[in-house]
Amino acid sequence: MSTSPVMGFPAPSLHDVARQRATVVTEDEAVRKLARSLVRRVMELNDGGAVQRKPLLDVTEHGVRCLLVPVAPEPHDLLSPREHEVARMVGRGYTNKQIAGVLEISLNTVSAHMRRIFTKLGVGSRAAMVAALTGENLAAG
């Protein structure tokens, strides 16, 4: 065993350092799993209701405050990759027929994607869809 140049204490072996790092990673992952479980349980107790502004949980343990507040997902997080592709093309001015041709899918499939996008974003028009995805506020204009 070698000694550390500082104060003559034994230097930790590489095996000890690796084990400490693995323990930290394992503990971090355990904390993440517990947090995910806590969020799921709190949402169950909240009946999985609509997103509210009030905290679902506010506790202080060992001098650490834990505040669990639901947040609405960003519009772009709601869409599948294909729906993103369709929405991007709508934003560029493509018609449904043009989108179907470029993506080599049927017009009915494009319409189905559009219906799902509208539903997920809570919009009723192509312009409102583009505004929701770009963060523009149509009411402000």
> What pTM does this model have?
0.50
Mean pLDDT across the stretch 82-96?
Answer: 95
From the CB of residue 9, how many other CB atoms can be counted at a distance below 10 Å? 9
pLDDT score recorded for residue 140: 45
> Going by C-beta distance under 8 Å and a sequence separation of 6 or more, which residues neighbour residue 123?
129, 131, 132
pLDDT score recorded for residue 141: 42
Place of tokens 């001015």: 93
CA dist list (Å): 119 to 32, 37, 83, 112, 134: 32, 29, 12, 11, 17
Question: Exposed, middle or buried by CB within 10 Å (0-12, 13-18, 19+), for 109?
Answer: middle
pLDDT digits (tens, 9 = 90+) for 6-16: 555 566 666 66
Which token pair is 70? 């639901």
Q: Is the pLDDT of residue 49 over 60?
A: no
